[in-house]
Amino acid sequence: MVATIIDGKELAKEMRSELKKEVEQLKEKGVTPGLAIILVGNNPASLSYIKGKQKASEEIGVSFKLEHLEESISQEELLEVIEKYNQDDRYDGILVQLPLPDHIDETAVIEKISPEKDVDGFHPINVGRMMTGQDAFLPCTPAGIVEMIKSANIEIAGKHVVVVGRSNIVGKPVGQLLLNENATVTYCHSKTKNLREHTIQGDILIVAVGRPHFIGADHIKEGAVVIDVGVNRLENGKLVGDVKFDEAKEKASAITPVPGGVGPMTITMLVYNTVKSAKKRVRP
């Protein structure tokens, strides 16, 4: 079997053009969606991610503001900046780019963002709403993965989903979202014994570990759908996923590439959440 490639770049393009139309309609009603990103310090990876988020926002017509703060800013001062954006009606979404410097408590920062503007979906209120199946800002990478699976017309209900990785931003929530879609979900992590015995059972296998080429064809059930979340830069500069793509595509029925898979969808879902938030400003 040779797998269908789930093209995240193409799907993201389609979603962005739909979002652009929605933003035009919002603007006719006097609402311009706004996204504020707060960056502390000069982490090069963060700067590059932010560039992608800015480009997508501007392409869709969302007004974008980068609040770039000194690495030395105190936690108290940072919380004050967040509060300023909580109160500012021009911004429907606030995102604090992670990671933060060691002297700042990430939990306190996330909890300071108004849950109504938490477009990353990391605030415990949004996590709780997602867990209980209520309307919420869904975390961008997991929400993008669900969109990709659905776009490929893959049935989720009743499928055995195996998730490798249990981080709060990818592994745990993607399993929860697919449980909400009536999948049966197994989580694997660094303490899992006999990983392969679990992964080989997955009708849908989601890999979010952060180790290049960690999962090979021998871990994959014949005909499975494989979603590779990993983004790893090799010493030669090449970007690769957590899955050995070339051999996995011979066994899977559908697979996401790296790059051009989950990444573009993550950014698109951030803008989607910002537009969703802005809709609340439209007067009936």
Q: Which residues are annotated as a binding site for NADP(+)?
A: 165-167, 231
- Min dist. Cβ of residue 276 to ligand NDP (A): 19
Residue 204 and residue 148: Cα distance in Å, rounded?
12
165 binds ligand NDP (CB under 6 A): yes
Both tokens assigned to 228: 């590779």
Nearer to ligand NDP, 79 or 200 (CB): 200
Nearer to ligand NDP, 79 or 152 (CB): 152
189 binds ligand NDP (CB under 6 A): yes
270 binds ligand NDP (CB under 6 A): no
CB 266, CB 13: distance < 8 Å: no
Is residue 120 part of the annotated active site? The answer reads yes
- Min dist. Cβ of residue 141 to ligand NDP (A): 4
CB 281, CB 66: distance < 8 Å: no
Both tokens assigned to 75: 């936690």
Both tokens assigned to 243: 């899955």
- The only residue of 36, 136, 169, 224 in contact with ligand NDP, by rule CB under 6 A: 169
Both tokens assigned to 241: 């996923």
- Min dist. Cβ of residue 55 to ligand NDP (A): 15
Is residue 89 part of the annotated active site? The answer reads no
Q: What angle do CA 155, 274, 35 make, to 5 degrees?
A: 145
Residues contacting ligand NDP: total by CB under 6 A: 24
DSSP, collapsed to helix, strand or coil, labels residue 3 as coil
